[in-house]
């Protein structure tokens, strides 16, 4: 048992109360020092570093508003839609809570996408932060599951048929697909059993996993230290320190970055409030108009599309047709030939690689393109986990990379946005062709990164971070 700290009898009431609390819960004080007052962050954070704290804020908004919605929502196929309407019309301030939750779902993905783009620009996934990035990608994947399950709960037309389409995709998996789809639905069609399962996962199971991953992400980040726009380590063995051992290029997170983040939070909340009060449906992107119609299993909407934050991956799913499979087979064959020609493996190793490539091509030709569409859609997210080992650039930050690298990143963002737009639109021949080209470019960005990330003339990285007071 730790000894109690004594305090002067002349201390103020506040100091006495703090001392009383610290004597009885010293680990809280240690946590505060380790992660706030004595956690040193680089002093050159810019606009892009708002989005991490904003993601945490939106998570809190979603949890709090979700608790109030659950008080009135009924997870039953016959009453779910009516309970949402009851919340909107009869519960005091229910409309505000519901719009905060629905707008918060889209806001969550906006800030997470921007947060991930910041990491992409400044190399925040590079050594020693690989695990921070992996936890972040796991958060993104869990967030997608949480959003998908929550999307069914209003029990509107788009909720019902969107879930029907997405769950049916699992049936394309060979051998286990039909049983897996049945397990997810709990029935042969999306029904009351599906609604109850999704409600349980959305309210209890997935949020617990999400909170655990968020804590792991933050703890891993604070163990290795935050990255910065220069990609220069402020806590490494070569980093300058003052007489007391503190990083010269760092400042305590509290109070400096807590005040810094308050400014970002203020601007965000103004925009967030404007959307809630003036455009909560956001033109049908945040809340689809078909979702204001009760679910009808006998009437299929003319065009079924997921919410906007899933549409880039939905476009990739739709891009995989029989013709596209022939193109992918050609790419796989060329890649295998290139690897075999450039590899220094022995004859046995090359023979094994050749057999593996031939088997892969055979499977691509034999299995249903719908299955490969599901694979491509999943791979589009899973490939993000491997980014730390795909980037072979000698520098971290985009600031010190060749100028044309910025155009590569800009093209990647443009392709992602185009895929997102096409995922909302009804299928068309032109749209399908553009989606197929976009899918190839999306995966090309990552799969060719070990090659193109090394090319060009890199600028010298400074020994210390560049910082101008403002």
* Tokens 């069914």 -> residue: 152
With left for phi above 0 and alpha for psi between -120 and 50, is residue 93 left, alpha or beta?
Answer: left
Are the CB atoms for 464 and 406 separated by under 8 Å? no
Rounded-to-integer distance, Cα 35 and Cα 37, Å:
7
User: What's the token pair of residue 234?
Assistant: 């402020």
Element of type H or E holding 369? helix 369-382
Q: Does 202 carry a binding-site annotation? A: yes
Q: Does 260 carry a binding-site annotation? A: no
Question: Omega of the bond prior to 255 within 30 degrees of 0, cis?
Answer: yes
C-alpha separations of 191 from 174, 204, 300, 387 in Å? 24, 20, 15, 39
DSSP secondary structure letters along 15-76: HHHHHHHHHH-HHHHHHHIIIIIT-EEETT--GGGGHHHHHHHHHHHHHHHHHHHHTT----
- Closest by Cα among 209, 183, 180, 210 to 194: 183
Q: Does 217 carry a binding-site annotation? A: yes
Q: Does 115 carry a binding-site annotation? A: yes
Residues composing the chain: 470
Q: Does 303 carry a binding-site annotation? A: no
Rounded-to-integer distance, Cα 106 and Cα 99, Å:
11
Rounded-to-integer distance, Cα 460 and Cα 220, Å:
29
Rounded-to-integer distance, Cα 223 and Cα 225, Å:
6
Name residue 41's beta-bridge partners.
251
Question: Omega of the bond prior to 404 within 30 degrees of 0, cis?
Answer: no
Rounded-to-integer distance, Cα 123 and Cα 394, Å:
11
Rounded-to-integer distance, Cα 81 and Cα 192, Å:
12
Annotated binding site for a ubiquinone: 222
Annotated binding site: 101, 115, 202, 217, 222
Annotated binding site for heme b: 101, 115, 202, 217
């Amino acid at each position: 048992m730790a000894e109690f700290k004594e305090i002067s009898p002349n201390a103020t009431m506040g100091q006495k109360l703090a001392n009383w609390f610290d004597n009885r819960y010293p680990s809280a004080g240690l946590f505060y020092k380790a992660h706030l007052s004595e956690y040193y962050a680089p002093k050159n954070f810019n606009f892009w570093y708002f989005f991490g704290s904003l993601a945490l804020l939106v998570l809190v908004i979603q949890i709090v508003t979700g608790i109030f919605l659950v008080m009135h929502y009924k997870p039953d196929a016959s009453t779910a839609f009516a309970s949402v309407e009851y919340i909107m019309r009869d519960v005091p301030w229910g409309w505000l809570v519901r719009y905060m939750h629905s707008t918060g779902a889209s806001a969550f993905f906006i800030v997470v996408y921007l947060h991930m783009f910041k990491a992409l620009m400044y190399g925040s996934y590079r050594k020693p932060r690989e695990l921070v990035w992996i936890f972040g990608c796991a958060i993104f994947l869990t967030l997608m599951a949480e959003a998908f399950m929550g999307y069914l709960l209003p029990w509107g037309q788009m909720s019902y048929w969107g879930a029907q389409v997405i769950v049916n995709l699992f049936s394309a998996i060979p051998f286990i697909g039909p049983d897996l789809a049945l397990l997810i639905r709990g029935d042969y069609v999306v029904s009351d059993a599906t609604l109850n399962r999704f409600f349980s996962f959305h309210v209890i199971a997935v949020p617990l996993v999400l909170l655990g991953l968020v804590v792991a992400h933050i703890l891993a980040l604070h163990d290795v230290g935050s990255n910065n726009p220069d990609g220069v380590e402020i806590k490494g063995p070569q980093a300058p320190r003052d007489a007391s051992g503190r990083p010269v290029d760092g400042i305590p997170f509290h109070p400096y970055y807590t005040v810094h983040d308050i400014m970002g939070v203020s601007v965000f909340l103004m925009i967030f409030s404007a959307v809630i009060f003036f455009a909560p449906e956001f033109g049908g992107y945040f809340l689809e108009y078909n979702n204001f119609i009760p679910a009808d299993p006998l009437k299929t909407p003319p065009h079924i599309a997921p919410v906007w934050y899933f549409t880039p991956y939905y476009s990739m799913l739709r891009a995989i047709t029989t013709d596209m499979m022939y193109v992918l087979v050609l790419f796989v064959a060329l890649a295998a030939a290139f690897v075999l020609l450039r590899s220094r493996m022995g004859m046995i190793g090359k023979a094994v690689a050749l057999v593996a490539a031939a088997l892969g091509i055979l499977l691509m030709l034999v299995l249903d393109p719908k299955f490969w569409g599901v694979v491509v859609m999943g791979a589009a997210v899973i490939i993000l986990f491997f980014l730390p080992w795909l980037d072979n650039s000698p520098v971290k930050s985009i600031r010190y990379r060749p100028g044309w690298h910025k155009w590569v990143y800009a093209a990647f963002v443009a392709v992602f946005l185009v895929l997102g737009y096409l995922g909302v639109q009804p299928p068309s021949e032109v749209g399908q062709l553009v989606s197929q080209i976009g899918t190839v470019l999306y995966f090309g960005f990552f799969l060719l990164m070990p090659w193109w990330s090394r090319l060009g003339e890199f600028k010298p990285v400074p020994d210390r971070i560049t910082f101008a007071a403002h």
